[in-house]
Each structure stands twice: as structure tokens, then as C-alpha cells.
Amino acid sequence: MTNKLNVLMVSSEVEPFAKTGGLGDVVGALPKALNKLDVNCIVIMPLYKCISQTYKDKMKYLGYIYIDLGYRHQYCGIFNLVYQGVKYYFMDNEFYYGDNKIYNDNDLERFAFLSKGAFEVAKYINFKPNIIHVHDWHSASMAGLLNDYYCHDEFFSQTKCIYTIHNLAYQGIFPKEKVLDLLPLNANIYNNTKTINLMALGIQFAHKVTTVSPTYAQEILTDAYGERLQNLLNIEKNKLVGILNGLDLTTYNPSKDKLIDYNFNKNDYQEGKKNNKLALYKQFDFDINNIDETPLIVIISRLASQKGMDLVLQIVERLLNEFAVKVVLLGSGDKNLENSFNNIANRYPKQFKVVLKFDNILAHKLYASGDLLLMPSAFEPCGLAQMIALQYGTLPLVRACGGLKDSIEAFNEYTLQGNGFSFNNYNDNDFYNTIKYALGIYHKKNLWNQIILNGFKDEFSWGKSAKKYLDLYLDAIK
């Protein structure tokens, strides 16, 4: 062992191997940034069948162990891959991870296997962590396991646990008897309960609790945003810290992005965005006449009420009728929302296009060609789309909540400060009026370009955020 700080990160998803959302982005980027700060950070995750064979072919088989989950004695193959300077360890078990899904109906047992198994894998590879950093409910039980069980193991006797909440709405609530059947937790704690909330377990027993923006850390202490955990969070609030997520600027860089049609930088963004918009208009058979005078509004989102998609549904037809705009929506989710947006797109084929799937290539093209990105979220722990948009000169229009409030400052015409547009109250009228205001600014090119230039100054790299995590680790060790 070296004198470096040893950090073991455990997650259900990690970009680029397996990802469904922001959790995967964070755990894909944060270890790289920590290692640049001379931290020795490794990552343990499941070896899902859906991981690309390209990565699997490069993995090295290290051996196998058995993981005991109650009466279950389960095989665990251990594979290693060094990717972009980070050491990743993959837990192989076909019963748990042999289908093509990251999440399925047996998630309690699958992630109990990950959580207990990560301790055993760390021992097998002789990685003695100063810090175990776990994420969301899937690995939250590691905080309880460290408190109740592994603290008696000399290997982990000095280990501290950091728990990060990416989205408080998804808590991992399961019948008590099923959880205690799988994991060696202190049953006396749950005498008067019928269920065990794994997220609550992480909050209670981690040495520090983080969430992904300072504003969200304050919001979740309230009844409006606390998702029934506000009382526990207020009890534990002295160890709660909000750290804004960063961006992996090697992935989201318009001057080097291989997924967009034309590369550009801060000096030639006007020409670059115009060329990308022209390519996108041709792709969707939009009229390319007066392209400079036709704002392109883009929406890249999971289709859910949390993301404010019900507000978009309420205003989009009015928007298409009253303004000469083009709108492209990319995302999937709630079937009623999917059908409703599809019906509108069929009625306005020359203005509104809907792509009901996750398409990473198209997402990059929309960031590069769009003028305005809509994010009217009901709540948003952090959000990355608004930060990505700024790198590509696309201005975010957001509801001022969570990480959106922490990253987007509403433009002020008098001071010329601000990097986007925002509204406070969650209703269609305020949302629509903010869009209307933004479209008025779009035709004042000097002001519009000033906002873009303001946004270019906000790079949101992981460097600052990683330093805050390092300070938190050191504070936990104290």
C-alpha cells in the first residue's frame, strides 16, 4: 500500500460500461478527477451482460470467490480493467447479471450481492479502503453492513463510509424479512417495522451524506421535497453536504466531439452552430429557409412529470401556433406522454419532431445545433443537460430548483449577467412567459450572443467538485 488515500467506489452503473442516467455519468467521471488529485480511487460494479464486448475483451480474469447471502452461497468471478487511468473491478454472476437489463424485478437480491460482495472483492484484491463511497439505494446497505458487521473485520476497522443521494425519490424499500434474510444487519433496529428503506439505512449509518447540488441538499430537508425522509435528514443534517456535479469535458467538447456534424469552439461558434443546425434541419426535413431567424428549441429528457414534461405538453401547441419555431424532443418514459407528444408531432410535422428513445448521437447533435434547451423540472437534484448545453452554446431555460438553480443564472438585460433563463413557480403560465421572453431576446442577436459567451465561461469541470469530495473524505477520516 502507498500513502495515498484509498477510495473504494461502488455503484450499480458506471459510464461508459452501463448507464441509464446521471448516476452513471457521475461515477464514470468522479474517480478520474479524484485520481488527478493523487487519490487512489477504484470502482466495483456488476459485470452486466449488456456491457459491450469491446470492453469485456480487454478485461483480465483475476479469480473467483463465493458470496454468502443468508443461506445462498453464490459464485462471484472477479474481472479487472484499467480504463482512462481508473481501475475497475467487475463482479460476475450469471444468475444476477446474465440478462441485458441493468435493473429488473430481482433488484434487492442483485444489489445485496453487489453490496456485500464489494467488501469481499476488496479483501480478495487486497485493497484496504480509507473511504467506501456508495451511491443511491443500490449500494446504500454498505453503510449498514460496515456499521453492523464489517467493522469487526480488522481489514475495514478504520474505514469510513460516504453515501451520495442522486435522487431521493428512488429509495429501495423492501419487506424487512427479505432484507434480513440476505444481509447480516442488526435485526434489533427494525423491531417495529415491516419494511427496510435502504436509502434511509445509508443516511443513518454513513459518516457523511452528500447530494448532488447545494440547493437540493437544502430542499430535501423540507416537506415539499423530502419524499418522507425529511425527518431523518433533519436529524442527520450535520453530516449532509451538497456538492454540484461536474461534467466530463473530454466527452462534451464541441471542438473534439466526433458525434456532431461540425466541430466548433468558442471563437467560431456562430458558424459552427449554424452548420450543425442546417444538418439537423435536413435530417428532419425542416424548411431551411430563414434558418437564422428560426429558433430551434430542443428537449432531451426522460418523459416524466418530475422532468416537467406535463408542462411542456400543456404549452407546446400554443408555442407552435404563436411562434415561428422548430422543436425537437428526444426521450422516452411515460407512455401517455409519449402518445400525446406523438399526436402533436403528427399534426405539426413541419415544426415538431419527436424521437421516443434514448439516442446518444442525436443528443449530441441537438446540443450542438439547438438555440434553447427546455428543463422545466418539478425537482432536479442536479441535472447535467443544462451544463452540457452551455458548452455547446445552447441556452438553458430551467425552473429554478435544485442543481438547475445552482448552475443557471437568469439573464439580466441591464447588467448583461446570466447564462440562461429561469422561472420559479411550477405552472404552465410562468413557463410559457419565460419562453416568450427568451424568444424575444433571440432576435436581439447582441444580447443572445452575450448570454452564450457568459455560458462559455462556466465550464463545470469535475476538478472543483472532486476537490470538495476529497476535503469531505479527509473530514470523515478525522
The CATH number given to whatever domain includes residue 278 is 3.40.50.2000
Across the strands, what pairs with 333?
303
User: Are residue 108 and residue 222 in the same domain, yes or no?
Assistant: yes
Residue 7: strand pairing partners = 41, 131
Whether 316 is covered by a domain: the verdict is: yes
pLDDT digits (tens, 9 = 90+) for 242-287: 999 998 888 899 999 999 999 999 999 999 999 999 999 999 999 9
pLDDT of residue 22: 84
Nearest to 86 by CA among 195, 155, 11, 150: 11
Classify residue 220: in a domain, yes or no.
Answer: yes
Cell numbers describing residue 32 = 478520474
Strand partners, 44: 10, 89
Residue 1: what pLDDT? 40
pLDDT at 82: 98
Point out the residues of the chain with pLDDT beneath 50: 1-2
Q: What is the DSSP letter of 244?
A: -
Q: What are phi and psi of 424, to 5 degrees?
A: -100, -50
The label of the residue with cell 425542416 reads 286
Does residue 376 fall inside a structural domain? yes
Give the distance from CA 450 to its chain's centroid.
Answer: 29
First-residue to last-residue Cα distance in the chain: 20
Q: Indicate whether 273 and 235 sit together in one domain.
A: no
Q: Please name which of 277, 238, 240 lies closest in space to residue 261, comparing C-alpha atoms.
A: 277
Residues ≥6 apart with Cβ < 8 Å to 79? 47, 59, 60, 61, 62, 89, 90, 92
The 10 Å CB-count burial string (b at 16+, else e) for 353-366 is bbbbebeeebbbbb
Helix H or strand E segment including 76: strand 72-83
Q: Is residue 34 part of a domain?
A: yes
Do 33 and 116 belong together in one domain?
yes
User: Count H helices, E strands: the chain?
Assistant: 18, 17
State which H helix or E strand residue 478 sits in.
none
Shared-domain flag, residues 230 and 287: no
- Tell me, yes or no, whether 254 lies in a domain: no
- What 3-state class would DSSP assign to 171? coil
Burial bucket for residue 163 (CB in 10 Å: 0-12, 13-18, 19+): buried
Is the domain of 37 the same as that of 183?
Answer: yes
Q: Which positions ≥6 away from 356 have C-beta within 8 Å?
A: 303, 331, 332, 338, 341, 342
Amino acid 453: pLDDT: 97
Q: How far is the C-alpha of 297 from the C-alpha of 273, rounded, in Å? A: 13
pLDDT recorded at residue 189: 84
Q: How many CB atoms lie within 10 A of CB 334?
A: 17
pLDDT score for 383: 92
The reported pLDDT for the residue numbered 248 is: 83
Q: Which residues contact 457 (CB under 8 A, 6 or more apart)?
A: 419
d(CA 383, CA 381): 6
> Is 310 inside any structural domain?
yes
Tell me, yes or no, whether 326 and 432 share the same domain: yes
For residues 315 and 448, membership in a common domain is answered with: yes
Q: Is the peptide bond before 16 cis (omega within 30 degrees of 0)?
A: yes
Residue 253 domain flag? no
The pLDDT value given to residue 419: 98
Strand, helix or coil for residue 401: coil
Nearest to 329 by CA among 321, 317, 252: 317
User: Are 94 and 135 found together in one domain?
Assistant: yes
What was the pLDDT predicted at 192? Answer: 84
Domain count, the chain: 2
Q: Do 177 and 277 have their domain in common?
A: no
Residue 371: CB atoms within 10 A of its CB come to 21
Q: How far is CA 132 from CA 9, 17, 135, 213, in A?
A: 6, 21, 10, 21
Residue with cell string 428526444:
330
Residues 442 and 471 in one domain: no
Note whether 46 and 193 are same-domain residues.
Answer: yes
Q: Is 467 found in the same domain as 449? A: no
pLDDT of residue 337: 97
Range of the domain at 84: 6-246+463-477
Please check whether residue 398 lies inside any domain of the structure. Answer: yes
Give dist(CA 350, CA 325) in Å, integer. 10
